[in-house]
Amino acid sequence: MDLRNKYDHAIQTAKKLGFDGSAQQEGEKLNFRGTVRSEDEKNQIWNALKTVPDWQKDINADIKVAPQAQPVGTSGAASPGKTYTVKPGDTLSKIAKEHLGDPNAYNKIFNANRDQLTDPDKIKPGQVLKIPS
């Protein structure tokens, strides 16, 4: 069976997102290996793979999020930057109140994380968000 055709939707999704890797059929398995720029992109590929009901028996996937380059400060050292890992039940307002002192500053966090967020109401446990100063 040609698994590349069966999973063409997922392959096209990966290409559209700039997936740096490959989807190669080896025997009875389709191996997805490579990197993307964000957890959101990784999840989009997984969601596309999971549209096929029996994906578990067909797919081996190793999709990693590439480390992002940190901006270099005037001293030449990388800025450490403050981050926060989202926990179940968190909202951007709650995180903003805790880290910025104002729940209405949630948009600052949203804008600082546009590389991985498309909607301020859609954050997921495990996401690592940049907290602006």
- Measure the CA–CA gap between 116 and 133, rounded to whole angstroms: 19
Per DSSP, the three-state class of 45 is: helix
Task: Domain 82-131: give its CATH code.
Answer: 3.10.350.10
* pTM of the model as a whole: 0.52
Spell out the CATH class of 3-65: alpha beta
Which backbone phi and psi does 95 adopt, to 5 degrees?
-65, -40
pLDDT for position 65: 87
pLDDT for position 78: 40
pLDDT for position 89: 92
In order along the chain (133 residues), what is the average pLDDT of each group of 10 residues?
A: 90 90 91 88 90 91 77 43 88 93 92 90 90 86
Domain boundaries, the chain: 3-65, 82-131
User: Residue 102 in contact with residue 71, Cβ under 8 Å?
Assistant: no
